[in-house]
Amino acid sequence: MRIDPPKPEKDPFEDLSPLQKKTRKAAIVFAFIGVFVWAVKILFL
């Protein structure tokens, strides 16, 4: 009995329009900046 290697899952975001991709990227960047600012505020204020 042969065991096939697991197939990589299809990227659910590859079929988005260019505007949706840009919006998603902006949202991720915005979230990282928000978390960073929050952490700095907690640590230093």
Q: Is 26 helix (H, G, I), strand (E, B) or coil?
A: helix
- Position 32 scores a pLDDT of 97
What 8-state DSSP symbol labels residue 11?
A: P
The dihedrals phi and psi of 5, each to the nearest 5 degrees, come to -65, 145
pLDDT computed for residue 9 by the predictor: 75
Asked if 13 contacts 24 with a C-beta cutoff of 8 angstroms, the reply is yes
Which pLDDT score, from 0 to 100, does residue 42 have?
93
Q: What are phi and psi for residue 3, nearest 5 degrees?
A: -105, 120
**Greater model confidence, 18 or 33:** 33
10-21 average pLDDT score = 81
Output the pLDDT for position 18: 87
Residue type, 16: L
As a whole number, mean pLDDT of residues 1-22 equals: 79
pTM over 0.75: no
Tell me if 21 sits within 8 A of 13, measured CB to CB. Answer: yes
